[in-house]
């Protein structure tokens, strides 16, 4: 039991650290701002896509009512009316106006793409045709899948056998209560698995999506309770009271969505953390660089699957972080097969200047002692000796009382 508590604690620490380091609160604010401009275009595109299919014609209003009833606090009925009217007017726009709506929708998806890929430490987002096809698939297939699922649910609920069975078991209320959670889980799982420009395990995506769906339900109940206990906002804002509350809800929702992305990302990282203590980043990036040097001398490139990561307990997250950084430093490139290759002669790279471009501190002697192993290569032994000598010199030079230093 104590071990499970320790593991859970370490995972939660990892999640909150990643949430903070990826500046999710700031990204949620940016997404909220973008949502203000994109919500009407997105609704217009949704209506248009649903109207394009005869069997789904007229489903848009029903879907919108279902979403606002189950996913948005009850104070936003006025916002729903405004958005519906705006989207109806937007459907009467000219070709130029329609292009503007599509561009706004694409910018919204682009912002989401950038925020999620930052969490996965992917610096090269989809560009060109691949990015366009992904966004277009979301804009076109998303509403159709949502509408088809809504019709299927309504059809199943209308069947006499199912309705009689649920009524007999008393499960009708439970089913309709669980429907928003299940739908949210599927939407979030699709978001977490499809948007990041990296392979994400479906199990992790669905787990994170389920957690976020439950948190959204809890947040909705807490939000309604807060509004009921704090009616002063109506006195201050009057008829516009629904607007700031709706913005606050959008911000809270984006916070939870990004938290779910961090959870999914952390689940992939945590399997590597549980294998043991990670190498100091200065050592691990040299391990990656050494492997690339060997591969280059053999006339081939290198991928993580070909990399002997078991010897150093180096995970895929470390590999991708280091290869991205080395690429930015101009040391790596890719061949036609998509493998990493050296793009610069390492005989021209000075170790001190190389370290100066890295954001990490040098490993201490205690960390190096943990890595002592007879199987370590000669370069690691030489580097360890130099780092220990450097640490001894540093301690000698800094062997000074603070009072003596600051009193001068």
The whole-number average pLDDT for the span 41-70 is 51
d(CA 358, CA 172): 59
Instruction: Scan for tokens 């938290």, then name that residue.
Output: 259
β-strand partners of 333: 341
DSSP secondary structure of 93-140: --HHHHHHHHHHHHHHHHHHHHHHHHHTT--S---HHHHHHHHHHHHH
Q: How far apart are the first and last CA of the chain?
A: 56
What is the per-residue pLDDT for 89? 53
The whole-number average pLDDT for the span 186-203 is 83
How many Cβ atoms sit within 10 Å of the Cβ of residue 313?
Answer: 15
The whole-number average pLDDT for the span 338-357 is 89
With bands split at pLDDT 50, 70 and 90, how would you rate the model's confidence at 168?
A: very low
How many Cβ atoms sit within 10 Å of the Cβ of residue 343?
Answer: 14
For domain 279-355, give the fold: Arc Repressor Mutant, subunit A (1.10.10)
> Comparing C-alpha atoms, which of 280, 283, 282, 287 is closest to residue 302?
287
- Which sequence spans correspond to the domains of the chain? 2-273, 279-355, 362-408
CA distances from 171 to 164, 182, 186 (A): 10, 16, 22
Most confident of 44-48, 178-182, 280-284: 280-284
Encoding tokens for residue 300? 């081939």
Question: Under a CB-based contact definition with an 8 Å cutoff, are residues 221 and 176 in contact?
Answer: no
Which one is predicted more confidently, 178 or 255? 255
């Amino acid at each position: 039991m104590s071990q499970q508590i320790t593991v859970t604690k370490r995972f939660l620490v990892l999640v909150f650290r990643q949430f903070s380091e990826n500046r999710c609160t700031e990204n949620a604010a940016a997404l909220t701002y973008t949502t203000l401009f994109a919500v009407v275009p997105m609704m217009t595109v949704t209506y248009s896509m649903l109207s394009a299919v005869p069997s789904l014609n007229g489903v848009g209003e029903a879907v919108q009512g279902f979403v606002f009833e189950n996913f948005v606090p009850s104070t936003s009925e006025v916002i729903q009316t405004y958005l519906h009217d705006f989207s109806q007017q937007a459907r009467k726009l000219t070709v130029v106006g329609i292009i503007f709506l599509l561009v706004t929708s694409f910018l919204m998806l682009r912002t989401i793409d950038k925020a999620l890929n930052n969490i996965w430490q992917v610096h090269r987002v989809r560009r060109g045709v691949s990015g366009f096809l992904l966004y277009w698939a979301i804009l076109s297939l998303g509403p159709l899948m949502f509408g088809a699922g809504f019709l299927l649910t309504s059809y199943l609920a209308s069947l006499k056998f199912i309705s009689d069975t649920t009524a007999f078991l008393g499960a009708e209320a439970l089913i309709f209560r669980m429907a928003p959670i299940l739908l949210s889980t599927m939407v979030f799982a699709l978001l977490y698995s499809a948007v990041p420009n990296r392979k994400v395990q479906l199990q992790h995506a669905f787990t994170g999506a389920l957690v976020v769906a439950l948190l959204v339900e809890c947040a909705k109940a807490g939000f309604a309770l807060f509004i009921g206990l704090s009616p002063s906002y109506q006195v201050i804002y009057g008829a516009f009271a629904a607007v700031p509350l709706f913005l606050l809800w959008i911000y809270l929702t984006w916070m939870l969505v990004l938290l779910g992305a961090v959870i999914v990302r952390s689940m992939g990282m945590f399997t590597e953390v549980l294998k043991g203590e990670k190498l100091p980043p200065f050592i691990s990036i040299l391990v990656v660089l050494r492997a690339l040097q060997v591969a280059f001398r053999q006339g081939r490139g290198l991928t993580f699957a070909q990399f002997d990561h078991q010897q150093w307990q180096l995970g895929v997250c470390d590999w991708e972080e280091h290869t991205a950084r080395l690429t930015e430093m101009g040391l790596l490139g890719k061949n036609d097969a998509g493998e990493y290759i050296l793009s610069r002669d390492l005989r021209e790279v000075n170790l001190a200047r190389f370290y100066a471009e890295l954001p990490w501190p040098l490993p201490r002697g205690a960390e190096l002692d943990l890595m002592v192993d007879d199987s370590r290569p000669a370069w690691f032994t030489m580097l360890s000796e130099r780092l220990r000598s450097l640490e001894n010199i540093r301690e000698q030079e800094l062997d000074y009382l603070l009072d003596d230093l600051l009193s001068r």
